[in-house]
Amino acid sequence: MTETDAGTAWRTYADRDLPPILETALACFMEHGYHGTTIRTVASRAGLSVPGLYYHYASKQALLVALVSHAMEDLWRRSTAALKEAGDDVRRRFDLLVECLVLFHAHQRDLAFIAYSEIRSLTGEARTTYIAARDRQQRLMDHVIEGGVAQGVFGTPYPREASRAIVTMCTGVSQWYRAAGEHSPSELAERYRAMTRMTAGARPWVS
């Protein structure tokens, strides 16, 4: 999703815009893990020679960095678009941010899973950059919860901890969600809105 369509399409998940090499690398990482995947395996499945793959990406680490960067940038654009749609109403900001997180981690389950689980495999500046992006994303929910507490919308005495718990609940969808499961992403988002409201100590409100 681009900056241009983010404002109207943050709920929409059409075909991903990942380059074919990255789609192949993602599939390999999902099947074998980062450390269990070789450059030769990715190159072969992408229909390239090893030197051909290196022409596009300098290393296996570069493939992982590109995937993680794509995931975090896409989630950020969608999240900020959801908050822009919500306006200043803290209740709506909370609901739409939770919805955004759940939809992303259901629809982009494989990409989100690798971005979460393979942080251990990032090194040096790439790891630092990822952690900064993750913390920036977390602060969106922090600010919503803190604003809700200040307005008396949320009653939790532990806003920062509640915020972390809520984000962890939503991102955890990528660990288990399956498209053929009982609930669609939108149905799941509705359930998570109800559960996370309770976690934040929400006063009763009507959607």
What pLDDT does 79 receive? 98
pLDDT digits (tens, 9 = 90+) for 89-102: 999 999 999 999 99
What 3 state SS string does 40-64 have? HHHHHHCCCCHHHHHHHCCCHHHHH
Instruction: Please give the Cα distance from 147 to 153 (Å, whole number).
Output: 8
**What percent of the chain stands above pLDDT 90?**
88
Query: Where residue 36 falls among pLDDT bands split at 50, 70, 90?
Result: very high
Mean pLDDT of 48-60: 96
**What percent of the chain stands above pLDDT 70?**
94
The set of residues, in sequence order, having a beta carbon less than 8 Å from that of 180 and lying 6+ positions away, is none
Query: Where residue 1 falls among pLDDT bands split at 50, 70, 90?
Result: low
pTM for the whole structure: 0.91
**Do residues 76 and 136 touch, judged by C-beta distance below 8 A?**
yes
Angle, nearest 10°, between helix axes 109-117 and 20-32? 60
Output phi, psi for 57, to 5 deg. -135, 125
What tokens appear for 73 in the block? 């940038």
* Amino acid (1-letter code) at residue 136: R
pLDDT digits (tens, 9 = 90+) for 122-175: 999 999 999 999 999 999 999 999 999 999 999 999 999 999 999 999 999 999
What pLDDT does 4 receive? 44
